Amino acid sequence: MRIGTLVIRADATVAMGSGHIMRCLALAQVWKDSGGQVVFASSELPPAIVRRVRDEGMEIENFGPTSLQEDAMALAALARQKRASTVIVDGYQFDSAYQKSLKASGLQVVWVDDTGRCGPYCADVVLNQNAYAHEGMYIDLEPGTKLLLGPRYVWLRKEFVPWQNWSREIAVVPRRLLVLMGGSDSDNFSSQVIRATQSADLGALEITVVIGGSNPHRGSLGALQSRSSGNIQLLVDVNDIAELMAEADLAISAAGHTCYELAFLQVPMILISLAENQVPAAAAMASAHAAIDAGWFAYFNREDFAPLIRGVVENHELRCSLASNAGRLVDGGGAHRTLQFLIDNSAARREGLSSQEVGVC
């Protein structure tokens, strides 16, 4: 069947980062590869994100600041204009009333959620990709709303596809450390991690720090790099993040969507929570023995962190275990599973089937 047009409502700013847009881009790619069209409805995207989306052959419609009610009405109108039957909403600023307004327009509404705090949920599909997701988070759920929960539904962009059946070899002596503190890193936490690794006396370990094009601290990070002993590389707005992850022997990362990308590539990782929603993700990854949870960024202490990272670097058995457990969490098929579910669910809606006949995942 022809899948038509998909409209995605998500934003990216220095304050919120680029995670919402970038994970939605993964589903957008498989949608487009299946013959559909994709329109992003977004507010003031950074130039690097605009280029990335347009290079994918997708449209961007600018949504200015307004009330949530007006935003929902504008999104429904855009969907009608583009003849889209499905909309995806990903962002913490949207609420239950926003869902209800979209549902009233007759659209298939997919709600990308991380918190379980947006009830009552009335979207057709609520998707929570996190390792901590469970049905108990969604007791305030209207009949007919489907749940897609857990890392089985992690959306990975197409740059990860070539690594689908790859198996990592864990180096006895790690040589490459990857630092990933988010696309914008508004608090410049990358600099604190760099200083902590320098004080950890990690020998010849090469450190690659990746930042987004919207990072406002590029200058200060560059100055920090220039004062280093030459083992620090600063990369801005990369398009080959999967390859960089595959080459890394260890990662220090924010506990956002990136940690699931690292898990797919079996990278031993230390996670730091830079936002409230990242705290349960770091805890769940640690509970699965798939990562080391270094805690909340506000309590970060360089003197405490240095022996932590040194201990991980020197413990080959620990890194082997972390990599193996992480790899079992994410298999890379989440975007395709979601696409197929939405196709089937959309067909069932058109045929007037009940939620019981469609089933729940």
44-74 pLDDT, tens digit each: 888 889 999 999 999 999 998 899 999 999 9
pLDDT at 360 over 50: no
Which pLDDT score is estimated for 18? 86
85-129 per-position pLDDT tens digit: 999 999 999 999 999 999 999 999 999 999 999 999 999 999 999
| Cα–chain center distance at 94 | 18
Which pLDDT score is estimated for 361? 41
The stretch 274-301 carries a mean pLDDT of 96
The Cβ of residue 344 has, within 10 Å, a number of other Cβ atoms equal to 12
Q: How many residues does the chain have?
A: 361
The stretch 298-319 carries a mean pLDDT of 94
Contact 4, 83 (CB under 8 A): yes
The stretch 307-336 carries a mean pLDDT of 97
Residue 187's closest CA among 56, 300, 22?
300
215-232 per-position pLDDT tens digit: 778 888 888 888 877 789
Q: What average pLDDT does the structure give for the chain?
A: 92
Domain ranges in the chain? 5-156+333-358, 160-329
Token pair, residue 153, equals 């539904």
The Cβ of residue 340 has, within 10 Å, a number of other Cβ atoms equal to 13
What percentage of residues in the chain have a pLDDT greater than 70?
A: 97
Hey, what CATH class is 5-156+333-358 in?
A: alpha beta
137-187 per-position pLDDT tens digit: 999 999 999 999 999 999 999 999 999 999 999 999 999 999 999 877 878
Which pLDDT score is estimated for 187? 85
Out of 3.40.50.10490, 3.40.1190.20, 2.40.37.10, 3.40.50.2000, select the CATH number for domain 160-329.
3.40.50.2000
Contact 177, 310 (CB under 8 A): no
Which pLDDT score is estimated for 1? 58
Confidence class of residue 330 from pLDDT cuts 50, 70 and 90? Answer: very high
Q: Which of 7-16, 73-82, 242-251 has the lowest mean pLDDT?
A: 7-16
pLDDT at 247 over 80: yes
Token pair, residue 86, equals 């499905």
- Side chain identity at residue 231, one-letter code: N
Which pLDDT score is estimated for 200? 86
What percentage of residues in the chain have a pLDDT greater than 90?
A: 77
Are the folds of 5-156+333-358 and 160-329 the same? yes
Token pair, residue 309, equals 């990272």
Contact 253, 270 (CB under 8 A): yes
Contact 339, 34 (CB under 8 A): yes
In angstroms, the Cα distances linking 136 to 112, 116, 117, 139 are 17, 9, 12, 6
Instruction: Give dist(CA 140, CA 105) in Å, integer.
Output: 22
Identify which has the larger pLDDT, 82 or 303. 82
